[in-house]
Chain A
Amino acid sequence: MRDVAIIGIGMTRFGELWESSIRDLCVEAALACFNDAGIDRLDSITIGSMSSGLFTGQEHLASLVPDYLGRRNVPAVRVESACASGGQAVRTAFLEVASGMSDVVLAIGIEKMTDVSGGEATYALATAADQDYEAFHGVTFPGLYAMMARAHMERFGTTRDQLAQVAVKNHENGSHNPHAQFPFTVTRKQVINSVMIADPLTLLDCSPITDGAAAVLVAPAEMARELQRGPLTVITGIGHATDTISIAHRADLLHLDAIELASSRALGMAGKTIEDIDFAEVHDCFTIAEILVLESMGVVPAGQGGPATLDGLTALDGDFPVNPSGGLKSKGHPVGATGVAQICEAVTQLRGAAGDRQIPNARIALTQNMGGSGGSSVVHIVEAR
C-alpha cells in the first residue's frame, strides 16, 4: 500500500444554515478544501451521509455532488455507516489512494438536518438503531445513551457533575472554534438544570441537530511532498470495527467493543500505543459517550472516565486533550459530516493553525467516529511528518 497524505481540508460553518441546501454545503466545503490544497485535480469522490433521503428527500449524492462541483464524469460513491459515515468516507478515499486506484480523492461528509422538524429528525436519527426491536418501542438516541449513562452511574458511581464536565470542557474548547454551532461556555449547573430529554441526560448532555459539511483531499504522500504546502500530514493508521446493532445484545453494555477494536487496529497499523497520542477527537454525541469511548479505548480503566474528566485529564491543557474542536457537543453534529470534520481538526492542530485552542507540539492525532450506539466505529491516526 502507498502512504496516504491529507493535502487539503475544508469546512462550512456548522449550525442551523437555513439559506444553504445540501448541494450548497457540499460545494462550499469542497471549494474550501481545494483552495487549501492549492491544486485543481480530482480523480474520485467519496461522500459520507447518514440519511440525506430522510433529512432532505435527496438520495443519489454520487451524482449530485460531482455535478455541482463542476466535475461531471468523475467517479463518486456514497458510503453509509450512520453517524460514522464521514469516517467511512475518509477510509474509502484512503483505500482508493493506498491501493493505487486513484491519486487525488475528495472525501466529503454532509448532513443537512434542519429541513425537517425536530420530531422527524429524531425519527431519522433513530433509524440507526434496530428498527424492529429498538425504535419500534419508541426509544430515541438520547434514550439509548441514557440507559448506558444510568448503568454507568449505578455500576461505577459516576456522578451528574462528572457527566456535565464533559459538556463544560467541550464548550470551553468550542468557544475558540469559528466553525462551532454553539461557541459559548456553560457551567455544570447549567448542564444539570437544563431540560430533561431522557433521564438522566438533559438537553446540554446532547449534541445538537446541525447542518454542515466537511471535506478532505487525500493523495499519495510522495505527491504531497512535491506540493510542499506546510507540514506533511499522513494517515498512518485506520481501524474499523462493528458490534451488535441492539445495545441489549452487548455482552457488557458499558464496553464498546467496536471502539476498542477500531482503536487498537488503528494504533497497531500505525505502530503506536494510546500513550503516544498527543490529542484525540472523539464521538461525544452525548456526554456519557465521551466517557465510554475513553474507557473502551483504554485511555483510562473502566469506570474512571468520569473522575478523570473532572480532574482535567482531557482538558486542552490536560495530559490527554480530547475534542479540542469543541467536539460534537459544541461544534455541532451534522452526522455524516462529523467524521470528516474530526480529521479537519486533527490536521489543523498538526499544522499548528488552531489559534486559541492549539495544543502545543501536537504531532500525533487520533480521531474516533462512531455509528449509532456503537454498532460501528472508524478510527484514524494522523501524524505530522
Chain B
Amino acid sequence: MQVPRFWREIPRYYRLEAAACVQCDAIHFPPRKICPSCGANAFETVRLSGRGALTTFTIIRTPPSGFTDQAPYAVGIVELDEGVRLMAQITDCDVDTLKTGDRMIAKFRRIREEGRTGVIMYGYKFVPDVGV
C-alpha cells in the first residue's frame, strides 16, 4: 500500500472526525459530500464521542491476508450515543464473554502492519467501557 491511501484517512482513523449536515443535523461517518438524508451538501466537521453500545459482533477465526497474526479477533458494530454506527475490532477483552448491548469506548490502537518495512496502520478499536 502506498502511504497516501492510509494517510488521507487519518482524520477519521485517529480522531473520529465526522460530517454533521448543516440542514438536517444528520451525522455521517465517514464524512460525505452529499447528505443521503436530505440532499444538502454543506457540513460541519464534528468529532464523535466514541462511546456507545455493541449491536452485533462476530469472532473472525479465518482471517484475510494481512490479519493472519491476529486471529481470532472480534469485529462488531457499535451504535454511538449520537446515533452513528461504526464497525471496528473489539479488543482488550475476552471475546468469549462479549454480549450485544455491552457498553463500548473507542481507543487508539494499531490495526495492522505490512511486513517489516511497510506501513504501520493505526486507528480506532472498541474496548469494553467498564467505567459506565
Q: Which residues of A contact B (CB under 8 A)?
A: 117-120, 122-123, 126, 132-140, 142-143, 146-148, 150-151, 154, 195-201, 246-249, 253
CB pair A137–B111 under 8 Å, yes or no, is: yes
Which residues in A have their C-beta under 8 angstroms from that of B64? 119, 122-123, 126, 135, 138, 140
Interface string of B80-91 (1 = CB under 8 A from A): 000001111100
Which residues in B have their C-beta under 8 angstroms from that of A151? 55-56, 100
Which residues in A have their C-beta under 8 angstroms from that of B30? 132-133
CB pair B57–A150 under 8 Å, yes or no, is: yes
Closest 3 pairs between A and B when the two form their complex, measured CB to CB? A146-B58, A138-B67, A119-B65
CA distance in complex: A135, B123 (Å): 13
Interface string of B105-118 (1 = CB under 8 A from A): 00000011000000
CA distance in complex: A238, B78 (Å): 36
Which residues in A have their C-beta under 8 angstroms from that of B100? 150-151, 154
CB pair B63–A119 under 8 Å, yes or no, is: yes
CB pair A196–B61 under 8 Å, yes or no, is: yes
Pick the residue among A126, A137, A150, A198 that contacts B87 (CB under 8 A): A137
From B58, B86, B100, B111, residue with most partner A Cβ within 10 Å? B58
A117 to B: closest C-beta gap in Å: 8
> Which A residue sits closest to B77, measured CB to CB?
A248
Tally inter-chain residue pairs, CB-CB below 8 A. Answer: 99
Which residues in B have their C-beta under 8 angstroms from that of A133? 30, 86-87
B2 at the interface (CB under 8 A from A): no
A283 to B: closest C-beta gap in Å: 20
Where chain A touches its partner, the secondary structure class is: helix
CB pair B61–A147 under 8 Å, yes or no, is: no
CB pair A138–B112 under 8 Å, yes or no, is: yes
CA distance in complex: A297, B4 (Å): 42
Pick the residue among B62, B68, B70, B125 that contacts A197 (CB under 8 A): B62
CA distance in complex: A117, B67 (Å): 14
Which residues in B have their C-beta under 8 angstroms from that of A122? 62-65
Which residues in B have their C-beta under 8 angstroms from that of A123? 64-66
Q: A137-B111, A147-B56, A150-B100 are in contact. Are A247 and B62 (CB under 8 A)?
A: no
Apart from the given pairs A137-B125, A138-B63, A150-B100, 5 other A-B contacts in the complex at a CB distance below 8 Å:
A120-B65, A138-B64, A147-B57, A147-B75, A147-B77
Which residues in B have their C-beta under 8 angstroms from that of A201? 58
Pick the residue among A132, A134, A198, A249 that contacts B62 (CB under 8 A): A198
CB pair A139–B65 under 8 Å, yes or no, is: no
> Which A residue sits closest to B121, measured CB to CB?
A136
CB pair B73–A138 under 8 Å, yes or no, is: yes
CB pair A198–B111 under 8 Å, yes or no, is: no
Q: A150-B56, A151-B55 are in contact. Are A134 and B87 (CB under 8 A)?
A: yes
11 contacts between A and B (CB under 8 A): A122-B63, A133-B30, A133-B87, A136-B111, A136-B121, A137-B88, A138-B63, A147-B75, A147-B76, A246-B87, A248-B77
B18 to A: closest C-beta gap in Å: 12
Q: A119-B68, A133-B30, A147-B76 are in contact. Are A140 and B63 (CB under 8 A)?
A: yes
A220 to B: closest C-beta gap in Å: 40
CB pair B62–A142 under 8 Å, yes or no, is: yes
